[in-house]
Amino acid sequence: MVDDNELNRLRDAAVPAPDTDAKARAFEAAMRAYDMDEKIDTVAQGSANGLRLTERAQKLWSEIMPKKLFATPAIAGLVALPIAGYATIYMLQEQSLHSSGGGKITETLADKPATVKPLTVAEPEKQKKADTDSESRDATEALAAPASPPKAEAPATTEYATLPARKQAPAPAPSRGFALDGGANGAAQAGRMPGAESKLMVQPQAMPADQMLPPEQNRDRVEDFKTNPVRAALEDPVSTFSIDVDTASYSFVRRSLKEGALPQADTVRVEEMINYFPYDWKGPDTASTPFNSTVSVMPTPWNEHTKLMHVAIKGFDVKPAEQPKANLVFLIDVSGSMNEQDKLPLLQSAFRLLVSKLKPDDTVSIVTYAGDAGTVLEPTKVSEKDKILNAIDTLRPGGSTAGEAGIKEAYRLAQKSFVKDGVNRVMLATDGDFNVGQTDDDDLKRLIEQERKTGVFLSVFGFGRGNLNDQMMQTIAQNGNGTAAYIDTLAEAEKVLIEDASSTLFTIAKDVKIQVEFNPNKVSEYRLIGYETRALNREDFNNDRVDAGEIGSGHSVTAIYEITPKGSGGEQIDPLRYGQASVNNGGVANADEYAFVKIRYKLPNEDVSKLITTPVTSANEVSSFDQASIDQRFSVAVAAFGQKLRDEDATAKFGYDKIVEIATAARGADPFGYRSEFLSLVRLASALGGNR
């Protein structure tokens, strides 16, 4: 029996440092336990064979204890690390046995922050090391955390993680799934597993229906809206809306389809899809008239009882030699979420393209925001192009998103280098929300409204997915006298910032509104295709304080109404019992007109609007759809496609094959391949959704 005094002396003695030999024996004991485990036959669930985890741990301790390795707490702690690794491996194996009856370990990617990438065999060096606490926590959470499917960008990818043999150099622990290390020292040892061919393979395995996990969270914010209804011309003869030259919706739809999914209905704004394409509408002859309008009436390809009233607007194309000086402020989101290839790197390439398009006398400033707003580049002439490009190249992501502060700083710099009678514009590039400072869309709207009065306009460019706040982009672009575009590829950046640079940068008319009054004597019903988010009240048309859309140099704007001629038999609304006397009394003026189109606009530096009017009569009508121009027919095909993607009733029986047929016949010259790409998107949608 051990003397109590001797035990007390041992208790009070200083703890000796563990020697190298003790460490080696402890680690070797743990490895023998693992080797022993490799020789145990796999047994079916419920079998009495094999030891449970607690029994195996006791057996392991019984082998280690006789070696008297636990003379000190320090050695005990050291031995606990490899045992923890062994226990983790066993529990993973046991979990796989219970779920599948086999001996392989199946891993699903645990739900981790988007900035942490899963480990692959080819890229172990990219794995970031965690601190001791987080490594230990990962080892536990990996077994209990719900799994999530791979990112949408690579839905079919299966990743394989290989644990090296004992003699190989240590590898970092996986960032997703399971971690084998228990601390800073254990991290180097836990990856060394016995056996020359010992591997842990990740293999796909179907989950039971009751264990299916929710899809990866999508934080994109898109404004919900209802499709424009059919209206009775007798009851509601006037339609009023703001023009829209944004193109973000088309790019977003394209990305969704190319990733193998039909787009969410509310991401499809039909007018933005139509206006994505350049059209050769007849423009004005002189700069004194900023745009020209052309109205045509033609049969509807998807409804034999209705007609389409096609309104085409073409802006005056300012020649390069006549373009005013540009004062641009790049307001760039460099928050942590921008650390993806299709975000900040793509943004940098896009803005480099834009700088190459500017003239030497133009001015560029750069403001970034991430937690705080900062000025990266004071107003600099484009003649110092290398200085501007270097500032763009040095941008790095990190931090939260202090958008409000960034906007204020950007406007301050725009005012600092303001060009009278020139282009003064803030160009905001972001992937998502302003989550620091003023974040409410209405508050941002009021801020932008105040700033636009200074003569500085604002355009918004969206990048990436998963955090895109399309609703915010639309709000501040509409109220900042600017445009909103979504850039998903470098080719799209080239289209928006190089090929369409004049229309993107040089505004020729602002607050452009359209009001159409339909004649109930000729038109029973009408429906505006698209422009749901641009609707205005009837009284807003003559109110110069109400903001509306802008037209840039050379811009094409198209609006299409589906109308039901009176007596055609295609009416969807029952006639009023007592309403006919007002139109059949013989006193109706201009009874032969389909409608009367009014367009109101302001010149960029003026606050009083001007008015253009166009009566629509049988002289504007073509007898067959094939007699319409190539551009008109192609724009109708795009309108049909947008309605089809929104699953609207009007095109429910109009197949994708019919859209392809119209668009193919109206493809025209297509110098940049936009229309050919459109055809491929229609075919993709048909394959994904069926040729309904």
DSSP state of 115: T
Spatial contact of 260 and 155, defined as CB atoms under 8 Å apart: yes
Question: What Rg do the C-alpha atoms of the chain give, in angstroms?
Answer: 34
- Cα–Cα distance, 637 to 106 (Å, whole number): 48
**What is the predicted pLDDT for the residue at 400?**
60
**What is the predicted pLDDT for the residue at 194?**
37
Angle made by CA atoms 486, 368, 468, in degrees to the nearest 5: 30
- Cα–Cα distance, 151 to 480 (Å, whole number): 34
pTM, entire model: 0.68
Task: Identify the helix (H) or strand (E) that includes residue 392.
Answer: helix 385-393
Spatial contact of 320 and 96, defined as CB atoms under 8 Å apart: no
Q: What is the dihedral of CA 66, 67, 73, 77, to 10 degrees?
A: -100
* Percent helix, strand and coil across the chain, each to the nearest 5: 35, 20, 45
β-strands 291-300, 303-315 pairing: antiparallel
β-strands 595-602, 507-518 pairing: antiparallel
Six token digits for residue 692: 């309904």
The pLDDT tens digits of the residues spanning 576-596 come to: 777 654 555 455 678 889 999
**What is the predicted pLDDT for the residue at 465?**
84
Q: Within a 10 A sphere around the Cβ of 611, how many other Cβ atoms?
A: 12
Handedness of CA 142, 143, 145, 148 (dihedral sign): positive
Complete edge-to-edge strand list for the sheet that includes strand 484-487: 372-381, 363-370, 326-333, 423-430, 457-463, 484-487
- Cα–Cα distance, 638 to 634 (Å, whole number): 6
- Cα–Cα distance, 295 to 311 (Å, whole number): 5
The pLDDT tens digits of the residues spanning 177-216 come to: 333 333 333 333 333 333 333 333 334 444 454 444 455 5
Burial class (CB in 10 A: 0-12, 13-18, 19+), 1: exposed
- Which phi and psi angles does 576 have, rounded to 5°? -75, 140
- Which phi and psi angles does 417 have, rounded to 5°? -115, 30
β-strands 507-518, 549-552 pairing: antiparallel
Cα 92 → chain centroid: 37
Q: Within a 10 A sphere around the Cβ of 464, how many other Cβ atoms?
A: 24
Name the stretches of the chain with pLDDT < 50. 38-54, 61, 67-71, 74-75, 78-79, 81, 87-88, 90-92, 94-207, 209-213, 436, 581, 585
| Identity of the residue numbered 680 | S
**What is the predicted pLDDT for the residue at 143?**
31
Six token digits for residue 30: 């743990």
| Identity of the residue numbered 227 | T
**What is the predicted pLDDT for the residue at 642?**
98
Strands, E, within 334-406: which ranges?
A: 363-370, 372-381
Q: What's the N-to-C CA distance of the chain in angstroms? A: 89
- Cα–Cα distance, 691 to 515 (Å, whole number): 36
Spatial contact of 560 and 636, defined as CB atoms under 8 Å apart: yes
**What is the predicted pLDDT for the residue at 217?**
58
Task: Identify the helix (H) or strand (E) that includes residue 445.
Answer: helix 441-452
- Cα–Cα distance, 590 to 661 (Å, whole number): 38
- Cα–Cα distance, 552 to 322 (Å, whole number): 14
The domains located in the chain, with CATH, are: 19-211 (no CATH), 231-318+508-569+591-689 (2.60.40.1230), 333-480+490-505 (3.40.50.410)
**What is the predicted pLDDT for the residue at 68?**
46
Task: Identify the helix (H) or strand (E) that includes residue 357.
Answer: helix 344-357
- The residues pairing with 381 across neighbouring beta strands, listed in sequence order, are 363
Spatial contact of 6 and 64, defined as CB atoms under 8 Å apart: no
**What is the predicted pLDDT for the residue at 584?**
54
Six token digits for residue 135: 């490594």
Q: Find all residues with CB under 8 Å of 417, minimum gap 6, and list them.
A: 327, 363, 365, 379
